[in-house]
Amino acid sequence: MANPTLSEKSFIKAAREGVGQGPMTVQGTVNKIILMGALVLASALGSWFLFASNPALIMPLAIGGAIAGFVIALILAFKQHLAPTLAPLYAVVEGVFVGATTLIFESMYPGIGLSAVLLTFAILAGIVGLYKAGVIRATPTFKRTILAATAGVAIFYLVAMVLRMFSIEMPLIYDNGWFGIGFSLFVVGLAAFNLVLDLDMIEQGAEHGAPKYMEWYCAFGMIVTIVWLYIEVLRLLAKLSSRD
C-alpha cells in the first residue's frame, strides 16, 4: 500500500549517525529515482517477455516478487543505511511483480498496460509540477489527512485479503460498478497525494543534512508510491474496460 518509509525522525536520526558521509541533495535523490525507475521498467519488460513465452511462471514469480519486495521494504524501514544495496534490488524484484501483474491484465484487456503507464507518468508529472509551483503544499493538516486516509485504505485492503481467503469478496475493490469505480478513483487520488508527502520529505532530508545514503532511501520511498499508483491506475482502467 502506501509509502511508510519516509519520516522526519528518520532524517534527523540519520543526520546524527551519518557524520562524515557527505549530505544528501535533492538532485542526487532525483538521479537515483530515475535510475531505480529505469531498473523497474527494465525488469518489468524482461519479465513480460519471459512470462509471455512461459505463462506458467506468471503467478509464482509475481507472488515471489511481491513477497521479496515486502521483505526488502521491511528491512529498509529499520536499516536505512542498507539502501544503496537493497534499493536497487527492490526495484528489480518489484519490476518482476509489475511485469507479471501487467501481463495478467493485458491478457484480459489488450492495450491496458501502455495506457496505465502513460496515465501514471501524467499524474506523476502533474503532481511534481503543482508541487514545484507551490499550488500543493504538504501542510500539517494535509499530511495528517493523507496519512489517516492511507492508513484507512491499508486496513481495508488487509481485511479484504483476509476475507478473500474465505471466498468473500469486497465489492468496492473488485466490482466494476460505479461505486467500485469511485473507490478506485479515490485510491488513485490518494496515491497521487502521497507523492506530495514524498517530495516534501526529500526536501526535508536535504535541509536536515541527512547522509548521502539517504538519497537511495528516499528514492526507494518514491518508487514504493509510484508502483502503488501504477497498480491502482491499472485496476481502475480494468474496471472501466470491463464495462465496455
User: Which tens digits make up the pLDDT trace of 194-232?
Assistant: 999 999 989 988 888 888 888 998 999 999 999 999 999
Instruction: Determine the average pLDDT of the residues in 114-142.
Output: 94
Statement: residue 41 has pLDDT above 80: yes
How many residues comprise the chain? 244
Element (H, E) at 234: helix 214-242
Q: Could you tell me the pTM of the whole model?
A: 0.90
pLDDT band at 10 (very low <50, low <70, confident <90, very high): low
State the pLDDT at residue 2: 42
Beta-strand ranges (E) seen in the chain are: none
Statement: residue 113 has pLDDT above 80: yes
Instruction: Determine the average pLDDT of the residues in 82-110.
Output: 94
pLDDT band at 13 (very low <50, low <70, confident <90, very high): low
Statement: residue 29 has pLDDT above 90: yes
State the pLDDT at residue 227: 95
Statement: residue 126 has pLDDT above 60: yes
Q: Which residue has the higher pLDDT, 176 or 105?
A: 105
Beta-strand ranges (E) seen in 65-169 are: none
| SS3 state at 213 | coil
| SS3 state at 80 | helix
- In 10 A of CB 196, how many CB atoms? 20
State the pLDDT at residue 1: 40
State the pLDDT at residue 11: 60
Instruction: Kindly report which listed range (132-141, 146-155, 172-181) carries the lowest average pLDDT score.
Output: 172-181
